[in-house]
Structure 1
Amino acid sequence: METESFEQITQAVVKCHKMGVKQVLVKLGAKGSALFIEGEEPIKQPIISAAKVLDTTGAGDTFTAAFAVALVEGKSRKECLKFAAAAASLCVQVKGAIPSMPDRKSVLELLHSL
């Protein structure tokens, strides 16, 4: 299935729901992210702008990992998306995949500054 537009992405997610997948997290690059929970409206999260973008390597992995951390800590789905967006924003400001992975303190400081 094509997934160029949000409508196409929504259609693909509906197909996933029909196969039994209850929640689908979609990373949209510069357009942010969306969490689709079966039977609910999608939760959209815009990017958190970075002061400078040096390297996007690892940003998606950072986003996914940060979302998972927030989720297992019991944060709301909306808070999970925002926490993940903050982590990804910090990630793209550092060159290289491993060095760019932000620590919790940095992510929390960025969130508090918003």
Structure 2
Amino acid sequence: MAMNEQGVKQVLVKLGAKGSALFVEGEDPIQQPIISASKVLDTTGAGDTFTAAIAVALVEGKSKRESLQFAAAAASLCLQVKGAIPSMPDRKVVLELLQSL
């Protein structure tokens, strides 16, 4: 049975080094490639950072595409710091990375 037959309207798939994809019923999928990190020290917390960042962006009214990009930037920054809590980037740093792209 397909997920949409069970009432699921949106599915976010995190693909690690392959980025992410958002599937919304009745819309074309949105794919987001990774935002490359200049160095990768630790992947701990990157998925959680991505999930939190996309939730924040969507709640703030950003488009789905902008939200995916914001989340990819946050995850990229997370990879560059060792440890789960210290690696969580703040908004200012995420926005600076997005502006540099």
Q: What is the TM-score when the length of structure 2 is the normalising length?
A: 0.98
* Counterpart in the other structure of 2:21: 34
* Counterpart in the other structure of 2:59: 72
The amino acid that maps onto 1:106 is V
- Partners of 1:63 and 1:21 in 2: how far apart? 21
The amino acid that maps onto 1:94 is V
* Counterpart in the other structure of 1:9: none
- Partners of 2:5 and 2:21 in 1: how far apart? 18
Percent sequence identity over aligned pairs: 82
* Counterpart in the other structure of 1:63: 50
The amino acid that maps onto 2:46 is A
The RMSD of aligned alpha carbons is 0.9
The amino acid that maps onto 1:99 is P
Residue of 83, 100, 106 corresponding to 2:70: 83
The amino acid that maps onto 1:57 is T
The amino acid that maps onto 1:110 is L
- Partners of 2:53 and 2:92 in 1: how far apart? 13
Can you give the 5+ residue segments of structure 2 that lack an aligned partner in the other structure? none
- The CA deviation at 1:41 is 1.2
Higher RCO structure, 1 or 2 (CA under 8 Å, sep 6+): 2
- The CA deviation at 1:48 is 0.1
- Partners of 1:54 and 1:38 in 2: how far apart? 37
Q: How many residues align?
A: 101
**Paired residues for 1:1-114 under 5 Å:** 15-114=2-101
The amino acid that maps onto 1:66 is A
Moved over 3 A (4+): none
SS in 1 for 2:58: helix
Residues 76-101 of structure 1: CA deviation (Å, up to 9, x unaligned): 00000000000000000000000000
- The CA deviation at 1:51 is 0.1
